[in-house]
Amino acid sequence: MRHTPSRPHPGREPSMANPRRIYPENAPGEFFVDTRCIDCDNCRALAPGVFGQRPPAAGRDGYAYVVRQPADEAERRAAIAALAACPVACIGSRAGVRPRAAVAASFPLHLHGPVHLLGASSRKSYDGKAYLADLGNHRVMVDAPRWEPHLAEWIAAAGGLDLILVTHRDDVADAARYAERFGARVLVGAADADAYRGPGLQPVAPARPAPLAALMEDPGGPWERLEVIPTPGHTEGSLCFRLDRRYLFSGDHIAFSRLTGRPYGFRNYCWYDWGRLLASVRLLLDHPFEWLLPAHGRYGHLPWPQMRRDLAEVARRGAA
């Protein structure tokens, strides 16, 4: 993984963590988690050696805390990335690392091939992850982070933003600000399109998986590399996007479990139709990919034969 640091952008700083209101489990030292944690898992995914979870119990929610302070510079960078990604700014640094500087130091974070993690999760999307695919002459954002001037500057320096793909209604976040800044089109499933209020909206409702090029006014070019897969279930208008037959941006359709490391569906957070969601999982069995890149839950890699077996198991167990 690599990232592209730059100077933090001047302007209003997001709210800061409060060192006087921290969880008692925090290991003493530079980093701490204050009591506003919403247990979204972003910090544990980025810096698993540093952040742990106090699981939910009767009468209280779960929360994250600092299990131990970073052991080396790589772990400290990971902790700073976690501070940047925290949607409620409840991770603090007694060494004075501030959220905006942390975003500038950590994101976009290169994950693999053309895919970058944008960090800066937004509370508007319930802290969902957003990605950027750099396709050479074109850049595509998948779901949107909170508005961060540093991210906008990075995208501008890379050549701008052509398209924002929204996997479902919950993950619009600050898409409108990015669309306005770059004149980008915004593709949303038709049944979820009312959730987006901003410029460039293009609702789509493919009846079956379709090359993105077939849905664009200017087919060809990089759009041939992307495929739109309708996956109703979590919401009626949920879409997955497959890039290069290798990367699946899955929104809240499926994700890796932080507990098992295997794909799973969010049965307790299925807003539309669990049966339709399982049918959408079965649809993916004919669409190979090896990188699963969700909005919530963990992202990761599995060889397709194993991924396919696990997806079949999700569909089988979910229907039981």
Task: Report 267-306 residues binding ligand SF4 (CB under 6 A).
Answer: none
Nearer to ligand SF4, 88 or 158 (CB): 88
Nearer to ligand SF4, 32 or 264 (CB): 32
Q: What is the distance of C-alpha 32 from the center of its chain? A: 23
Which alpha helices (DSSP H) does the chain contain, by range?
A: 42-46, 73-85, 99-106, 149-158, 175-182, 274-284, 304-319
Question: Among residues 4, 18, 30, 41, which is the contact residue for ligand SF4, using CB under 6 A?
Answer: 41
Residues 217, 223: Cα–Cα separation, whole Å: 11
Contact status: 118 vs ligand SF4 (CB under 6 A): no
Number of alpha carbons in the 13 Å side-chain half-sphere of residue 312:
10
Residue 312 in tokens: 């079949």
Q: Minimum distance from CB of 62 to ligand SF4 (Å)?
A: 8
**What sign for the dihedral angle of Cα 128, 137, 231, 311?**
negative
Question: Among residues 3, 22, 43, 284, which is the contact residue for ligand SF4, using CB under 6 A?
Answer: 43
Question: Among residues 3, 22, 32, 42, which is the contact residue for ligand SF4, using CB under 6 A?
Answer: 42
Residues 247, 315: Cα–Cα separation, whole Å: 20
Contact status: 26 vs ligand SF4 (CB under 6 A): no
Contact status: 39 vs ligand SF4 (CB under 6 A): yes
Query: 147, 177 in Cβ contact below 8 A?
Result: yes
Contact status: 86 vs ligand SF4 (CB under 6 A): yes
Contact status: 90 vs ligand SF4 (CB under 6 A): yes
Q: Which residues bind ligand SF4 (CB under 6 A)?
A: 33, 37-43, 64, 86, 88, 90-91
